Amino acid sequence: MAGIATGLVLGSLVGAVATAAGSYFVFRRRRRAETDHLRLAFRTELEALSYVADLAEEGRYEALAASVEPPQVYENNADRVGHLTDDEVEALVAFYTDLYWLRDQQDIEDKKERADEVAREWHEAVEAVRAAG
């Protein structure tokens, strides 16, 4: 009788451990897929924002300030940025923070150095996302 009870307990424990391990691996795989999709979305948005770096490098600051559109991927996924690597988070937050600053500028002529910084941060964000992917 004790052998049967021990067998039932051990069977239950093995089943519970197997279920927990399986759930954990499914969770990790799903999280990795979400992170990969998020990274791809940021890479796509950053590539679409390449005009920011191009206009800054050409010195067309007025056109740059007037052409910035709200970044949809960042706005819709800001709460999920923490799933990315530390380098990606740092580069993305720095770039998007300055992109918002740039978008709100009325007179940018006296702020050219900061606009050039936005172009540099764009390059860093692109490199961080590519390196992690």
pLDDT in tens, 9-45: 777 777 777 777 777 677 678 888 899 999 999 999 9
- The tens digit of pLDDT for each residue in 64-117 reads 888 888 999 999 999 999 999 999 999 999 999 999 998 888 778 778 888 889
Task: State pTM to two decimals.
Answer: 0.78
Count other C-beta atoms under 10 Å from residue 115's C-beta.
Answer: 22
Handedness of CA 24, 26, 30, 33 (dihedral sign): positive
